[in-house]
Structure 1
Amino acid sequence: MVITPRHESIAGLFGPTRIFRVPKYQRHYAWTAEEIDDLKADLGGSLKARKASQERPHFFGGLVTVARPHAGSATKLEVIDGQQRLATFVILVAQVINVMLELSTKLVADADGSLRKFLEDRAGTLRAQFLRLDDTVSLKVEDVARLELSKPDYLFFVQLIQGNNPDDAERTSHKLLKAAYVSLGKYITDLVAQESTDHQKVTQLANIAKVLEVDWTVIHMETTTVQHAYNLFQVLNDRGVGLTEGELLRAKTMEVLDAVATQEQLDRIEKCWDDILSEAPGRVEEVLRWIFASHTGKRPGKTTLYDEFLQHLIPTHPAVLTASQAAGLVTAVEDLGKDFKKIALMLDGQWPLSGHSTVTAWDRDRLGLLLRELKHTNCIPLLIAATALKQKTFSDIVQMLERFVFRYKSVSNAHIGPATNVYNKQAVAIRDAPSTYKISTLKADLQPLLLAHASDTRFTTALGELEYSTLASNKTIKYFLMTIEHYARWYQDGAKGPPVCKDKSRVLDFANTTLEHIYPQNSAPSDPHLNAVVQSLGNLTILGPTDNDAVGNKPFLQKKAVFAKSTISLNVRISSLAIWNVAAVNAWKEELKAMALKIFVV
């Protein structure tokens, strides 16, 4: 491996003719406010030293590049490592130029125009040094960017540096780029504003420019081949330190495909990785782990996700792929992207299967309740595999999981590990043979867990202990009562067969459904006996927003009329009671528990 390391100023790094390009397999912009604040602190320290005539060199970091062919007169360097600091430096220079040009229009004590001319000339020099270059291509002089980021960030970065204030910051990297631009712009503006006179302000900007040109240095490691550069890139990052697993997987797949894949294949896989990595890094890793478990039946190690993904799911070996192997790799990444999109839909409460639907809005709503209200994401490996099944089967699995996890985890508080193992095992079974998969196998695996960890006694005892809290969330109780309501008609008809919602035309809105104390929390007059059970499950029901306004803090005898006209069948039943006392509270709690034993089964 031939490496030419040089310690040089950033002005020396850019030189008179160098242009930098970030390749498609590099990660996107990722510096957060923390890194930007560190950069501002470094600039402040260097500026303070220079103003005191005590120049202080500052090591800005390392850069790994490889020379690439270029049709023009400029020297093109592909950035393998160091694009984060390089992009941030260019943003900083752009903002220094902006402040220089803005100040040049506001000078009041510049009779001969010398300060204005200095600022305009200095801004032009900085622009030529770090932002734009006149490149001669085929006897034509073209104005080209000194630094181009990879495709997802390219246009947004161009607009940002040109001061066009792009407002389509939808990607995480775009939001971070814009945040860096705004933060650094404000910092430079504040540095200048703290000076009193025009001359002092211009001097401040001159010192800032000198710091960036002279005082800040880098270690530039230039390699002779892409492979050498990529190997060095992996060593410097210790296979993941500072890089996410998703970014490393992108880099690896793009790198091995670069020499053998067609341009059409490269474009497809690049687009796929762009979509995957547009999510926040933490979410990307989480989804990768779910997908890995869905395929292999096991969770990857805490520090081995990258290696295990390459071993089991993304075929990047041998180092030189055949055309057939390259096509297989492209397909594998595209399948990964499809799973990412389906998981994103599910986490957003949306149905992941398209086409003619045999399920109702009520069925689809259960998925959102499972993942968002019960917050049960351990089952995602199973769900993503189950998207290969028919819509009705997928819906049945969602409802089975929903009833299971409420009883097993939400109420009985059993350890989720054994259930997660079942989900992963069933996910592999589906992927192995989706056309012959039977949901009865999932039922057979879940039932023993309920018997062992959420028996009838344990479940009903824990249900009886549920109470309304004035301090914490009461989502568990709300979900319970809403689900009981959906299955109430089936229960009243004899509870035959598996639980079925007999009126799917009605979808209760979880957010707008409220819990109501049947005996009010602040009753007037007060009943000391009912006060003792006011927060009990048996003293709670659900109401829509209109009914909630109507009952207010009224006593039971006045609420009866509202309950009798309610669309909630549970309230109609409560309205049939003549009085509401402690005995009625306890009896209603026992009735809810009896219904739960029939409904929350698999």
Structure 2
Amino acid sequence: MFAPLPTASMSVSQLLSESDSFVVPAYQRPYSWTIEEAGQLFEDIATAAGVDEADELEPDYFLGAILLLDPNSGATPASRPSGSANELEIVDGLQRLVTLTILACALRDLDPDPQSEIATRLDGLVRVPGMPVSDSSRIALPVEEWGIALDLVIAPGGCLRSVPAEQQLDSRQQAVINVRDRFMQDLKALSIEQRRALATYVYERCHMVVVKTNDIDRAHRIFMVLNDRGRPLQKKDILKAEILRSTEPAHRGEALAVWRDVEMRLGDELENFLSHLRAVHGYHRMQIIAGIRRIVREAGSARSFIHDIFKPLADAYAITLQAPGHKADIPLELRRALVRLQRLNGNEWVPAVLRILSLNLSDELTRQYLEELERAALLMRIVCLGSSKRQTRFAKIARDLSTPRPPAPVGLYEPSREELRAIAFNMRDLHSRNVQACKGLLMRINDELQPDAIDADPSDYTVEHVLPQRPKPSSLWRKWHPDTEERMRLTSSLGNLVLVSHKNNGLARNDEFLRKKEIYCEPGDAVPSLAVTAAYLDSDEWLPEHIRAREAALIALVNKIWRLELEVEAVDEAVA
């Protein structure tokens, strides 16, 4: 008879207090989560914890399965070798455990009282009490991987310290520091009470299914099954079965034909569509299946849901998806607006677009609404709102559009006074604050200068600094810009940024100005040059006055496009 696997659903607190040390075996890949992955986990947990909407707190948040190898399985503490630690090897789940450790450290170090119960409890999750910092981390990453991060993350107060200027980090250590900095940025935007509530939620309500074995071969087989085997039943399959079963028998064939038609047109996007459909009706914080079930009930019958809600919104989603490829049979100006939205990373704007396209408005009014949504989406990114906050803002817009008397297009979104200040501040160094927003802004400016380039693919281009960030000491750049502080300020200016192909970006690097201009417009590159790159670069020199003049011209275009009143002086003062 086989030995059953010990499994349990454990909270983060229970799991991390289960062992003195979690050992990382040599076959594990290094920590490699990006700030995008860590940021998404943070936003998901914060949403579940009801950080922004306390009344929408989820009872728990599931973090998946963790597979551990326990060489002492079955041994009691008394039967272990004298002096041996209670150690567990991490077979699967290392990336999540390290990320949760970094989050716990950031929450601990931002607590105003280092001796508070919450700070002490968080410290106990990540460190073994009484041990020196170098040996105290419960997750025993190789020293070359933790490295200086032990002092800058694990040690109490470490997350508040900056990386020494002379310290060189390898990619593994940099990944840890990048995630730490992302968490610190997100957490600083919360109040003390919100951070403490989030900390409590993390260690009490975030949980995992923990699987243990004491056989490495068995652990490997389990790992393969957990990661590679089987095809999970998707939400769309569950909902299809439920909704068709609930349809009156006389109309079931008709409903099935509609569903199959939508399946064929949307393909793999059907799952995403159902998520957006839920959000159109104001249930973006509910689980998808629960949200769709409620919408079906509110529709009165499954048949009404299929014909009055599901099909019209699916038609709108198909148009949205087809806009970039000239496949959608819609006027050019509507296609332009949809293409500009599709360029943006994130899709929080989709539910509002679906609502607009399903309202059967005139083409002109539809265009106005879509352009206002595009304005809102990009300005929120320049403000540097996270995806969760953007989702909340767009959910309100979708609700407003669903009322009997929806607001006029110009009333959909207006940045607050604080957001206008943030726009002015971030515009001064947008590339370092939000690379994707910076590229999106330059692409939108290019649309104004070069309307026929609407189908230019953002992934073909990268943001290039004309005045290099690190010019050679003997270069003309140093002669033209001798003042270091002013040079750094001008380098990050909007007036100094262009869009070029990845190939040309690699060729230009720190070259002199005239050579850079040749490279930017070099024939033979498969990626066409953009007007925003050539605009206002007709001088033979690139002096401070040229950068300021180009900045003023580009900001004037931004003001025209989005009804703003930014001034170059105000943008400069926002940083001074």
Q: State the TM bucket, normalised to the shorter chain.
A: 0.3 to 0.5
Structure number with bigger Rg: 1
TM-score (norm 2): 0.45
